[in-house]
Amino acid sequence: MTEHKLTVEAEPYEFELDPKRTALLLIDMQRDFVEPGGFGEQLGNDVSNLRRVIAPLQRVLGVMREGGYTVIHTREGHRPDLSDCPPSKIARGRLSCGIGDVGPMGRILVRGSHGHDIIDELKPIGDETVVDKPGKGAFFATDLDFMLHNRGIESLVVTGVTTEVCVNTTVREANDRGYECLVLEDCVGSYFPEFQEYALRMIKAQGGIFGWVSSSEKLLVALEAGQSVGGRV
């Protein structure tokens, strides 16, 4: 079969992807980070800065699902006994209500709690993979790399929250492992507008030191002009 690559307008230059070797990664679109009344808002953050990614991300998810792309969701969180949570992470911030405590949506960042799960708007369907990660990076202490390798994935379309924390950490981890990352600026969000700007600039600087930055619209233009994973659409 001839290899068919799609070209996406991006910075610092165009991004080329092979649909069969590309996965969509949705990082930590969890209620506790994104929803009003969750852990993130309780810490004083403005969740509207994160919620603006939901609509464009729904469009990208819909088109990539339709095209048969590999879709992988991640969630940051811990086992109920917190045995996979470093004491330093629990202590950090000197919070009166932090990891493992009962927050507004159940135990904070504990697997199985309402707040830990992915928002309804982006709920995983079918056989989409959900990676539960104890750290900020999606590769640390998870089987993500092994699964991507087994599926022949080489490129990641990276979305989710927050841009400077879990998204940036994951892009750096992926880049060191040889994956090419395309980050969609309107599908990643930060509580802090200045961090949003600089986290994206850090990725695409120096000739794309960690990866590429584009937008949902530019990706959708390329996807619509191209092929689905299974053949011509």
Residues that bind ligand TIU (CB under 6 A): 28, 33, 76, 136, 161-162, 165-166
Question: Do strands 227-228 and 15-17 pair parallel, antiparallel, or not at all (unpaired)?
Answer: unpaired
Q: Are 118 and 30 in contact (CB under 8 A)?
A: yes
Active site residue 85: no
Q: How far is the CB of 127 from ligand TIU (least distance, A)?
A: 24
Q: How far is the CB of 207 from ligand TIU (least distance, A)?
A: 26
* C-beta of 169 vs 214, nearer to ligand TIU: 169
Alpha-carbon distance of 187 to 40, in angstroms, equals 18
The active-site residue, picked from 85, 89, 117, 166, is: 166
Active site residue 133: yes
Q: Which two tokens stand for residue 116?
A: 């830990």
* C-beta of 153 vs 165, nearer to ligand TIU: 165
- Those residues whose C-beta lies under 8 Å from the C-beta of residue 93, and which sit 6 or more positions away, are none
Q: Pick from 41, 16, 22, 20: which is nearest to 159 by CA?
A: 22
Looking at the chain, how many residues does it have? 233
CA distances from 223 to 8, 55, 168 (A): 8, 18, 24
Q: How far is the CB of 50 from ligand TIU (least distance, A)?
A: 9
Q: Are 100 and 111 in contact (CB under 8 A)?
A: no
The active-site residue, picked from 28, 32, 117, 186, is: 28
The active-site residue, picked from 85, 89, 117, 133, is: 133
Active site residue 145: no
Q: How far is the CB of 45 from ligand TIU (least distance, A)?
A: 8
* C-beta of 191 vs 212, nearer to ligand TIU: 191
* C-beta of 41 vs 76, nearer to ligand TIU: 76
Catalytically annotated residues: 28, 133, 166
